[in-house]
Amino acid sequence: MNKTILIIEDEPALRKILSDLLQKNSFSILEAKDGKEGVTIALEKHPDLILLDLLMPVMNGMEALKKIRQDVWGEKVPVIILTNLSATDEKLVQDMVTERPLYYLIKSDWNINDVVKKVKEVLV
């Protein structure tokens, strides 16, 4: 059975590129356009991995991650943060350490194929 990845990303273009490429690599994809929708889908569908943006409308990525981590299933789900937000803020670092994503990847440093490689490292 294909592993399922939830992409929580407010940029439709990036969401589509990620979705297409991951589907080509035999993953099933769920999509959410903001943190709130992401939490709902995550807790309902229990994906195998979450790709999470931080800066999003309605509910930001870190808030969404905190809510997911409160769930018994969500406590251990692997999360890769994909963001352009620099980790130079003390509170963000503290949250990151508390919520333990696997990776904190800066979008501008990572091309999509490398992100897919990281996903495969985690799931395959």
Binding residues (CB under 8 A) for another protein: these are 84, 86-94, 96-97, 100-106, 108-110
Shortest separation between residue 8's beta carbon and another protein, angstroms: 18
Residue closer to another protein (CB basis): 32 or 115: 115
The beta strand positions in 9-113, using DSSP E, are 28-32, 49-52, 79-83, 103-106
* Residue 17 near residue 107, CB atoms below 8 Å: no
Q: How many CB atoms lie within 10 A of CB 109?
A: 8
Residue closer to another protein (CB basis): 1 or 124: 124
Shortest separation between residue 104's beta carbon and another protein, angstroms: 4
Residue closer to another protein (CB basis): 43 or 103: 103
Shortest separation between residue 79's beta carbon and another protein, angstroms: 10
